[in-house]
Amino acid sequence: MRLKILLLTALIGSVFHHAYGQVNIANSTPVTIDFSATTPATVGTSPGSAFAGNGFAPAPTVAGRLNSNAWSVLGFDFGNMGYGGTQTVDDFGRGSVSSPVLTPGIYAYTDAPASVANPTLLIQSGTPGDFNPGSITLRIRNAASTNLTQLELSYNLFVRNDEPRSSSFRFSHSIDDITYQQEATLDYVSPDAPDAFQWGQVGVTPSRSIIITGLNIAPNAYFYVRWSIEDVAGSGDRDEFGLDDIVITGSYGAPAPEINVQSVGGVTVLSGDTTPTVAESTDFAPAGAPVSTANSTASTTFRIQNLGGAALNVANVTITGINAANFTVYTTGGANPIGNIPAVSGSVISFRELTILFDPSIEGLHTARVNIINTDSNENPYWFDIRGYGFIPKPDINVKGLTGGTSNISSGNMIPIVANNTLWPITGTIVGTPVVKDFRIQNTGNVGAPLLLTGTPIVSIGGVNPSDFTVTTQPTATS
């Protein structure tokens, strides 16, 4: 699996001496730490090799190790490892595994979705004092020429909940590696009771995400991100945790707003998206589920988010395009998308809701474009296309027996049967004594499409012996 550090606009890491603990990043080019042989030497080995759980050392050349210049590990009963330290055995070098473990330590986990060539970093904690509590910290250096003001970070978390004890997996960060600010909204606590699912990812990708604002990290200064494990409740052995797919994005200079739009289901709708989909909620009514033109509408709600470190102002929302008149920004009884959206605060992302109604006037495909006028300097307007199908509702007549035989009667049916009430008794019917049968005329068509019965009379009887049959009650003209 991959541990990715992506810093845009400027640098968090640059070329540095091995005495420094940081990720080496050149401009906006992403650096991927996937624990494979392509892992940079500043984090892994030189020459490159896949992490095999062989411990930590500064600028290691032994295959399967990690570079301690980038990592600090605290809490094992075998000892601690600071930046630039060497710990290659016992708790720090448990090797590669593809099945459950009990012995505390750091492993390279190679079972799915990981592999030998692309493992996940697995941590097994033990009794109090043996990584209980314990932490692993990544040190990042701002190698840019301007101050670092914001970090966006996400990661995937894996757990094997195979023990009758719950443990916490928490995230925190620091500017001095002394005082750490914990982000409670990113906390995860494994269940007390074990389950049968064994190793699995927590939630969907990414398992956790946060935007850290209000930073002012000077050039060549450090920033620290930490993951910690500790017992919570229960008894017995501890669950295993895996950390993977960490993505960090840095912003420099004065804090700025950053617009983002998501469906209520949490799917991001990119600015410039010209392909509406149901998953993004931008396809209001696909061809297989169109909206009636007769007093029917479909609506969807989006969240206009501010991921930046300064307030975002939404000045207006317009809908343009060929069929813009069939889409409406809905505010009556709903949220108003116009106004300020506060800057992000830790893991709390503020937003305003945008609800759009689709009310087709004619049959067929309707397309339009949503334009969000805002104060994001490089995404104004923030726009994306929407669409929906409309259809003209149509009636559909169906006739069936009401009492006795209640089956449907096909139009043009020429063979009377008892099952649908069209066959009167062959025996036992006395001449001059009427036998009554009743039928139901139904409208099984679309909602909003009345069935009009226009004949005069509405129901008439023909055939060889019409005088032997009489319609005693005519149906109403509308169904």
Helices and strands (H and E) in the chain: how many = 0, 31
Nearest to 319 by CA among 363, 390, 384: 384
Asked if pLDDT for residue 215 goes beyond 90, the answer is: no
Distance of CA 303 to the CA centre of its chain: 13
Asked if pLDDT for residue 440 goes beyond 60, the answer is: yes
Concatenate the DSSP letters of all residues of 8-52 into one string. Answer: -SS-S--S--TTS-S----TT--EEE-SSTTS-TTTS-SS-----
User: Any idea which residue has 């169904």 for tokens?
Assistant: 479
Asked if pLDDT for residue 226 goes beyond 70, the answer is: yes
Residue 433: other Cβ atoms inside 10 A: 7
Asked if pLDDT for residue 15 goes beyond 50, the answer is: no
What are the DSSP E strand ranges found in 105-221? 105-109, 120-124, 134-141, 148-160, 165-174, 181-182, 188-189, 199-201, 208-212
- DSSP conformational letter for 201: E
Distance of CA 339 to the CA centre of its chain: 26
Among 37-46, 157-166, 381-390, 403-412, the range scoring the smallest mean pLDDT is 37-46
CA distances from 50 to 62, 109, 244 (A): 11, 12, 15
Beta bridge partners of 268: 262
Nearest to 263 by CA among 250, 277, 244: 277
What are the DSSP E strand ranges found in 236-311? 240-252, 259-263, 283-285, 291-292, 298-306
Section 411-425 average pLDDT: 89
Nearest to 77 by CA among 28, 130, 144, 121: 130
Under a CB-based contact definition with an 8 Å cutoff, are residues 99 and 111 in contact? yes
Name all domains of the chain by residue range, CATH numbers in brackets.
3-252 (no CATH), 259-391 (2.60.40.10), 393-479 (no CATH)
Share of the chain above pLDDT 70, in %: 92
User: Any idea which residue has 């699996």 for tokens?
Assistant: 1
Section 77-97 average pLDDT: 97
Query: 414 burial class (0-12, 13-18, 19+ CB within 10 angstroms)?
Result: exposed
- Residue 174 DSSP SS3: strand
pLDDT, tens digit, 9 for 90 and up, residues 100-122:
999 999 999 999 999 999 999 99
Among 37-46, 205-214, 334-343, 425-434, the range scoring the smallest mean pLDDT is 425-434
Residue 210: other Cβ atoms inside 10 A: 22
What are 18's two structure tokens? 């091995």
Tell me the pLDDT band of 448, cut-offs 50, 70 and 90.
Answer: confident
Section 69-91 average pLDDT: 96
pLDDT of residue 31: 63
Among 73-82, 321-330, 436-445, the range scoring the smallest mean pLDDT is 436-445
Residue 179: other Cβ atoms inside 10 A: 8
Strand 105-109 relative to strand 96-97: parallel, antiparallel, unpaired? parallel
If you count them, how many residues does the chain have? 479
Section 139-163 average pLDDT: 87
pLDDT of residue 404: 81
Round the average pLDDT of the chain to a whole number and report it.
88
Section 238-243 average pLDDT: 96
Tell me the pLDDT band of 197, cut-offs 50, 70 and 90.
Answer: confident
